[in-house]
Structure 1
C-alpha cells in the first residue's frame, strides 16, 4: 500500500479523505488488486491502484483476505466450541 500511495501522490492523486486513521482503504485496495479490473462505481481510484500494483501486491492482498477468513472461522468456532458468550469474569 505504501508503494501504491507513493506513486499515486507523485501523480497528484491523494488518499481518500474519508479514511483518516481507520485503514479501511487497505481492504479496498486489496479488493481492487484481487479483482484486477475496474469497477463501475467505487470510492477509491481503481485505475491508479491497478496501474501501480506490483505482483507482490497481489500476493499480499490474497494473504490478507485468506488470513482474515481463517481468523473469522476460528473466532466463530471458538465462540461456539468453548461457549465464550456465557462466561463472565
Structure 2
C-alpha cells in the first residue's frame, strides 16, 4: 500500500477501526469455491430429429438453440451430431 500522509492515515485508521497496514484476512482465498464440472450433451440422428430436439429443449427452457454447436456430419448416411457443454456446480 502506498504511504499516506500521517493525518490521512490516522483518519483512515479511525474510519476502518484498525491499522490499514494489516494484511487483509485470508478468508476469501481460503473459502472453498464451488467446484464446476462440465457435462456434455450429445444429440445424434437425422438433421431433422436433432434440430427438432434442440428446439424442444429451448421451448422447455433447458438450453437455447444458440448454445448447441452447428450440426456436424458423422460420416454415416443421414446422420449428424450436435454437442452442448454445460457447467454444473458440484457439492
TM-score between the two structures when normalised by the length of structure 1: 0.25
**Over alpha carbons, which structure has the higher Rg?**
2
Question: Could you say which structure has the higher strand fraction?
Answer: 2
Question: Could you say which structure has the higher helix fraction?
Answer: 1
